[in-house]
Amino acid sequence: MITVFITDDHPLVSKGIRDMLSPYPSIQIIGTFLSGAALLAGIKVQQPDVLLLDIQLPDMRGEEITLMLRKNFPDVKVLALTNFNNTLYASNMLKSGAFGYLLKNTDEETLVDAIETVYRGETYLSPDMKIRVEDFRKKIQRKTSSKASLTIREIEILTLLTKGFSNQQIADELFLSKRTVENYRLNLTLKLEVKNTAGLVKYAVELGLDK
């Protein structure tokens, strides 16, 4: 029996997953949560084998939750379940300790396969995403080999800069203050030895963060 938690701020999504998995007696959903805070409170009482986790909750980010669980509840296998078909997000979640990354429009058999895979302690990615994540990591390694390594947050900010986001829009997207974003951008120009936003965007494009 594989026990499962679902954390998603949309109740209909949780219900849909529950209905999808109900025909499988080997998988039992033992808890659903609408926020990161609710999940962290619930997991102190009972730990599942697998956590299906939306990566963008109203109060916490998927990477943040995953890092906390890896430290405090290392036996819980996190499987990201998201609408974002994004290489950066997938790479960040795996780096934070998730065992898999899956899109919400997946079919029933794929979802079950993913749950069973991460339960065994193996990584689950679609074939396409696996290739994209490996290529992305190689680009990051090549680009940062002669410079200070970029943090997850710095990569996120660079990615949003390539999309033309303003400081305020980046702050809203990443749940940061505008001043914090400004500080990140200044630090990035110093770290990457560029003069301005155009230099940051050029660097990000060379990394492939615009895709």
Delimit the domains of the chain by residue range.
2-126, 147-207
Same topology between domain 2-126 and domain 147-207: no
| The domain defined by 2-126 carries CATH number 3.40.50.2300 | yes
Q: From edge to edge, which strands make up the β-sheet containing 50-53? A: 27-33, 2-7, 50-53, 77-82, 100-103
Q: How confident is the model at residue 146 (pLDDT cuts 50, 70, 90)?
A: very low
Q: Could you give phi then psi for residue 152, rounded to 5 degrees?
A: -60, -45
- How far is the C-alpha of 161 from the C-alpha of 118, rounded, in Å? 34
Q: Report the chain's mean pLDDT, rounded to a whole number.
A: 90
Q: How does pLDDT run across 40-65, given as a tens digit for each residue?
A: 999 999 999 999 999 989 899 899 99
Give the pLDDT of residue 88: 82
Q: What is the pTM of this model?
A: 0.71
Structure-block tokens of residue 209:
């963060």
Per-residue pLDDT reduced to its tens digit, 133-143: 888 777 777 66
* Percent of the chain as helix, strand, coil, to the nearest 5: 55, 15, 30
Q: Which residue has the higher pLDDT, 24 or 207?
A: 24
pLDDT digits (tens, 9 = 90+) for 67-117: 999 999 999 999 999 998 988 889 889 989 999 999 999 999 999 999 999
Domain with residues 147-207, CATH architecture: Orthogonal Bundle (1.10)
105-to-10, 109, 124, 142, 183 alpha-carbon distances in Å = 14, 12, 16, 33, 37
- Does 148 have pLDDT greater than 80? no
The region that residue 208 occupies, defined by phi over 0 for left and psi between -120 and 50 for alpha, beta otherwise, is left
